[in-house]
């Protein structure tokens, strides 16, 4: 428990110290965000705001998690270790976003990576990590069903199904990063929820004598709290009006981390609760496009993703972020209660 609190505080303090030193560097390097012209008109004032800030919380959370696992002597499961697995999937996902940001911001190509280039990278990461989970004896092909003490064995279908889930969730996180502090706020809560769930599992397994499994779940909890702390610190600079954006670099890191934690815990179905707002962002885009084609030009939302619909309906960015955070908190509480029931 004390290492979880330490991970949270260490990452939070590190971000608060690093942020003021990194932001001027991003400005000097002209890492300014180009605002989408078809977006809400109010967003045009954000033109030139430094982006790629996700590099900060990615570095802080990974270093803090790795350091505390090493100091705690729990980094001893080799290729089966959850800390190393989470760092891999998060950074690999982030790399795709980083390249996309680099092309847009540094090379001044507004569209960044072509859609199929992103998909190829995401498929590679998703298949690699899904295969890893399938082969890892602490994960396997079974997934827990919320509210029921039952595991669903996906068998050989695990790898293709989870690969699709990973690609969907990484892009869902990316789509939700459209308002100041939105993705970082809900991800603080979501990451903390995964951490608490992992801690509960580690405590329950305490009497089993399976030291390696206990260490794995403990390390996952530390990573989750380190990420939550880093994002709390990042919010100091990312809340409205944002001094820095996380960019695709940060949103894809978060997407990879969230789906990675869910899969290692054998709880991808729990993302329907813990990652509901991310999923809603993607579904709103899909629904909008289908409705537009079926009705030959009509729209069901004023703009998608759905947070822009709320914005164009008169809500302020801070009101939308607060609403999302409340919904996220309530659904994470439901997820935690379902774990207690199991």
Q: Which pLDDT value is given to residue 26?
A: 85
Q: Which pLDDT value is given to residue 3?
A: 85
Please say whether the beta carbons of 288 and 300 come within 8 A: yes
Q: Which pLDDT value is given to residue 149?
A: 80
Cα angle: 278, vertex 279, 284; to 5 degrees? 105
Please say whether the beta carbons of 15 and 243 come within 8 A: no
pTM (2 d.p.): 0.94
Domain layout of the chain by residue ranges: 2-272
Which CA distances in Å does 222 have to 138, 177, 202, 217, 287? 17, 25, 12, 9, 37
For the chain of 342 residues, list the mean pLDDT of each consecutive stretch of 10: 90 97 85 60 66 96 96 85 97 97 80 87 98 97 91 96 98 96 98 96 82 92 98 96 95 98 98 98 97 93 95 95 98 92 58
Q: Which pLDDT value is given to residue 40?
A: 59
Q: Tell me which residue has tokens 């084609």.
A: 293
Single out the residue of 264, 27, 68 nearest to residue 166, CA to CA: 264
Please say whether the beta carbons of 110 and 32 come within 8 A: no
Q: Which pLDDT value is given to residue 36?
A: 59
């Amino acid at each position: 428990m004390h290492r979880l609190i330490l991970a949270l505080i260490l990452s939070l303090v590190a971000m608060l110290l690093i942020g003021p030193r990194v932001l001027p560097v991003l400005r000097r390097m002209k890492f300014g965000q180009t605002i989408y012209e078809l977006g809400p008109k109010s967003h045009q004032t954000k033109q030139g705001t430094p982006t790629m800030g996700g590099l900060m919380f990615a570095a802080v959370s990974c270093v803090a998690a790795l350091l505390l696992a090493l100091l705690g002597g729990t980094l001893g499961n080799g290729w089966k270790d959850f800390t190393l697995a989470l760092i891999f999937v998060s950074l690999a996902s982030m790399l795709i976003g980083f390249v996309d940001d680099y092309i847009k911001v540094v090379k001044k190509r507004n569209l960044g990576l072509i859609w199929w280039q992103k998909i190829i990278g995401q498929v590679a990461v998703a298949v690699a990590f899904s295969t890893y989970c399938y082969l890892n004896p602490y994960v396997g092909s079974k997934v827990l069903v919320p509210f029921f003490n039952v595991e669903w064995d996906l068998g050989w279908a695990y790898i293709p199904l989870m690969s699709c889930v990973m690609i969907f969730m990484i892009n869902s996180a990316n789509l939700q990063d459209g308002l100041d502090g939105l993705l970082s706020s809900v991800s603080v809560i979501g990451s903390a929820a995964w951490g608490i769930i992992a801690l509960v599992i580690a405590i329950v397994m305490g009497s089993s004598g399976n030291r390696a499994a206990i260490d794995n779940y403990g390390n996952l909890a530390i990573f989750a709290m380190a990420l939550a702390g880093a994002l709390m610190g990042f919010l100091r600079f990312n809340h409205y009006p944002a001094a820095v954006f996380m960019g695709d670099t940060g949103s894809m890191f978060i997407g990879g981390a969230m789906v990675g934690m869910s899969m290692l815990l054998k709880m991808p179905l729990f993302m329907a609760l813990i990652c509901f707002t991310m999923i809603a962002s993607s579904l709103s885009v899909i629904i909008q496009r289908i409705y537009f084609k079926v009705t030959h030009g009509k729209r069901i939302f004023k703009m998608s993703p759905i947070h822009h619909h709320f914005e164009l309906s008169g809500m302020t960015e801070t009101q939308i972020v607060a609403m999302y955070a409340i919904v996220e908190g309530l659904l994470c509480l439901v997820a935690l209660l379902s774990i207690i029931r199991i």
